[in-house]
Every structure is written in C-alpha cells, then in structure tokens.
Amino acid sequence: QIGVLDVDICGPSLPKIFGVEGEQVHQSGSGWSPVYVDDNLSLMSVGFLLSKADEAVIWRGPKKNGMIKQFLRDVDWGEIDYLLIDTPPGTSDEHLSIAQYLKESDVDGAIVITTPQEVALLDVRKEITFCRKVDLPIIGVVENMSSFVCPKCKVSTQIFPASTGGGQKMAEDMNVPFLGSLPLDPRIGKCCDEGKSFLTEVPDSPATQAYKQIMSKIVEYCTKRNENRESDSGEMKTN
Amino acid sequence: AGKKVGLLDVDLCGPSIPRMFNVHQQDIHQCSEGWLPVFVDKEQKLALMSIGFLVENEQDAIIWRGPKKTAMIKQFLKDVVWRDLDYLIIDTPPGTTDEHISAIENLKAYNPDGAILVTTPQAVSVGDVKREITFCRKTHIPVIGLIENMSGFVCPNCTECTNVFSKGGGQALAKEYHVPFLGCIPLDPELSKSCDEGKDFVEHYEGSPTLQAIQKVVDRLVKIDRDLP
C-alpha cells in the first residue's frame, strides 16, 4: 500500500502523471481522502484542489507551509506501507516544512535525483548538504536521463554528458549510496503525459529494468531499517 | 551584438549561472554606490550577479524560507551597481512563489518589458508553464514570448531525429494562449558540456543547429524590443 504526497505546490504534475487529473478530493469525518490511482496506490496533490487546469498557485512560503501541514495532518491515508513525498527542486520552504513536521516520525530517508551534468550536480550536492543539516538519512542518489539509445541505429549517446563523472562519482565523493542510472527513453515522458504506467506499457525497455533494480534497492533499505527498528524496540522490552 | 547586458540569477537555492560562465571562483566587490557585478568579459559588456558568488563552498546549501529569499532579491535589485545596461535579464527558478512575486514587486516601478517563458515540449511541462502564463496575467507582466527547449534530438551517428521529450507542446501552448512563439531549440550535448565547463557555446559551436535556433530566438527578441513603444 503506497501513498504519494505531491508537495510541488506551484507545479503539481502528479495528478496528470498518474492519469487522475480532474479528480476530486472528498472530506469525511476522518479527514481528506486521497485519490486512488489503483487499489494499492493513492495520491494527494494541490492539483486536485484547483478549479482550472491553468490556475496558478501564487503563494509565498508561509501559505505553502500551511498547505503542507494540512496535507500531513488531515489526509486519511489509511494503512499504508510507504508514504512517498515528491518535492520540487530546492532547499526552501517545502523541504524545511517536510523535514520539521516529520521530525518525530523517524523518516526512512531521502532519495536524491540528479541528471548527469555538472550544472545539475551543483544543485544536488546542496540537497545532500540540506539532508545532513536536518538529520535526514539519505537512501541514495539516482541518476536520471543517463543515456539515450537511438531507436534507429541503436547507438547510445549521452545527451547530458557527465563531464565531471555524473551521479555515481558525486555519490562517491559525498559518501552516499548510488542507487542506479535511468536511461532516457522517450516513452517515459509519453507515458507521463498520458497518465499511463511506463512499467506496464513498456515492460521490455532497459529503463524498466533500471527502475525495477532501483526500486528493489529502496525496498531493501527500508525493510532493513524496519527490522532494525523492531529489534531495537524488542531489546528495550526485554530490558 | 555590442549590447550591454546584465544577468541576475535569482535561483537562490540552485545558483548555476556563475559556473555556466566560468566565473564561479570570483568574488563580489563593493564600491561606494553598492555591489559591483561580476563581468564575464574584458569589455564589460556582460555583468552577472548571483548568490553563487557569495557562497564559500559550492556544497553549501542556501536553506532559506521565503522571507529571507525575498530580502536577498530586494537587495540584488536595489544594491547592485549595474550602471548603463541595454538589457537586464532576470533568471528565475520554476514556480510562482517568493522569488517570482518579489522580483515583480521590486521591478514594477521600472515598467519591465515582460517575461520570456521557457518550456520543454511534453504535456507535463506545458501544464506548469500554463500556470506561469496565468501568473504573468495576474501580475500584469506582458509575455514577450515562449520558447520550446529540448525540442528534438538528432542522433550524431545516423542523424535520425527523435523527440525525446515529445514535440510541439510549446508551440501549441503559445497558440492556445495567444502569446508569441519565439522558436524551438533542439538538444545538443555540446551545449550541456559548454554550460558545465563555462565555455562559450556561441564561439565554439558555430555549426550547431541548436546555436542557429538560439540565434533565431535572439533575433526575434531584438526585433520585438525594437517594436516596443
């Protein structure tokens, strides 16, 4: 059971990506119900609260923080195994609010996404610094848009060359795990635009394999952390 | 050509502009009138200001909430001694929040020419940029035009063009919202590398279709500027 919380307040794209654009959020006694994409996948986004597709959310920090607080407090996720929070780029209000409001919840960690070029790594190193400053564990780094295979001649090109070693070298330099690279498959963007699941639509893409490998590493990390948590509390009980 | 341009980087959390111009090692100096921008060239035709120049270590994060960002942007617009410029370009991060609101509020008195919007072709990006158009309308900022970036990739091996991030979304958006379409810019790995190395793409990649597309956009912008009242 997975809940996804979209805290990109100004650019809420997840409803479109999950194929549930235009759906409504309902309120009940137990809080706001997220929108169900599937039986085991629910989503909350400010996108569901806007009346028009081009409505701009022109909010300063405090108002964004208020919305994020409300999302964390009032959404009735039910029993979920994972809550994924998708943040915009940056190290500002959205990120600080998530870190602060979830301080007591023993967050498993952050997955940091980069593209291979140095200009992107420049920003992402700062994200890693941010995680360290707010004591947020780092599950690992994912390098997106890694390489492109021409559908005609099958030759691979780096559209965004890793001129300084890419995500893998950066992860090594900053002493964080590297979870993997995702190749640039134009069908990923197409599926996002159409609200379809790329993993279901294009199961034989190298990108699908890469996604699955990265996901299994994340699950392994979280499972291990959970086991450690349980064994810690077990020891306390015996004592 | 020959114009004096100032470039203000208000992406406070992700200030990439100094690196792209290979001036990231430089410092800001003060004079009696305020802060001096960093000049990229000997002739002092291109001046930059970015929080990147004020940060010691590139790994240091600017972990600021809205009010602090707002104050910094106000200071950039008030205290930098740009001197006589033909163009002042303000590069904002994506969004419609503190940076954008502050930039507009502080510039309103100077009657800004308008905003240039950049999208990539796919619907997910176009969805965000629609909101940027709404923002401009709500804040009474004219939309000078829209650019469709990362529009197609020509394989260097077989010259087959693939629409890596779809195609045409920007052009359709411009038509739907009646804003001028400034052009499509194809992907070129050399542009990405040039930005990383702070190399002058214009100087080194004359034959690149990407450069030619960028040149066409600039020509259109200069023409629009000439036609402004």
CATH tag for B1-112 (out of 3.40.50.300, 3.50.50.60, 2.40.340.10, 3.30.1360.20): 3.40.50.300
Residue-level pLDDT at A238: 47
List chain B residues with CB under 8 Å of A96: 63, 65
For chain B (length 229 residues), average pLDDT per consecutive 10?
92 94 92 94 94 91 94 94 94 94 93 96 96 96 96 91 94 97 96 95 92 95 84
Q: Which of A118, A126, A155 minimises the CB distance to B61?
A: A126
Q: For B115-229, give the CATH class.
A: alpha beta
Q: Does A89 touch chain B (CB under 8 A)?
A: yes
- Taking every pair of Cα atoms in chain B, the longest distance, rounded to a whole number of angstroms, is 58
Q: Which residues of B43-78 are buried (b: 16+ CB within 10 A; e: fewer)?
A: eeebbbbbbbbebeeeeebbbbbbeebbebbeebbe
Task: Search chain B and give the residue with CA nearest A188.
Answer: B165
Nearest chain B residue to A119 by CA distance is: B196
Rounded Cα distance, B70 and A62, in Å? 13
pLDDT at B228: 74
How near does any CA of chain B get to the CA of A235, in Å? 38
Residue of B nearest to A163 (CA): B193
Return phi, psi of residue A196, to 5°.
-110, 160
Which residue in chain B has the smallest CA separation from A56? B131
Q: Do A189 and B94 touch (CB under 8 A)?
A: no
- Where are chain B's structural domains? 1-112, 115-229
Identical topology for domains B1-112 and B115-229:
yes
pLDDT score at A239 = 44
Task: Find, among A88, A84, A70, the residue nearest to A41 by Cα.
Answer: A84
B70 neighbourhood in chain A, CB within 8 Å:
60
pLDDT at A201: 96
Q: Is the ipTM of this complex over 0.85?
A: yes
pLDDT value, residue A232: 78
Question: Which B residues, 105 through 134, put their C-beta within 8 Å of a C-beta on chain A?
Answer: 122-124, 127-128, 130-134
Q: How far from chain centre, in Å, is Cα A149?
A: 25
| A193/B contact by beta carbon, under 8 A | yes
Q: Which residues from B are below 8 Å from A153, CB to CB?
A: 155, 157-158, 160
| Interface size, chain A vs chain B, as Cβ–Cβ contacts under 8 Å | 188
| Interface-testing mutation among B128, B173, B178, B188, with chain A (most A C-beta atoms within 10 A) | B128
Q: What is the pLDDT along chain A (239 residues), one digit of tens a residue?
A: 999 999 999 999 999 999 999 999 998 899 999 999 999 999 999 999 998 888 999 999 999 999 999 999 999 999 999 999 999 999 999 999 999 999 999 999 999 999 999 999 999 999 999 999 999 999 999 999 999 988 889 899 999 999 999 999 999 999 999 999 999 999 999 999 999 999 999 999 999 999 999 999 999 999 999 998 888 776 554 44
Extract long-range pairs of A51-57: CB within 8 Å, 24+ residues apart: A53/A21, A53/B127, A53/B130, A54/B130, A54/B131, A54/B133, A54/B134, A55/B131, A55/B134, A56/A10, A56/B96, A56/B131, A56/B132, A56/B134, A56/B135, A56/B138, A57/A9, A57/A10, A57/A12, A57/B96, A57/B131
Tell me if the pTM is above 0.80. yes
**Measured between alpha carbons, how far is B28 from B137 in angstroms, rounded to an integer?**
35
B155/A9 touch (CB, cutoff 8 Å), yes or no: no
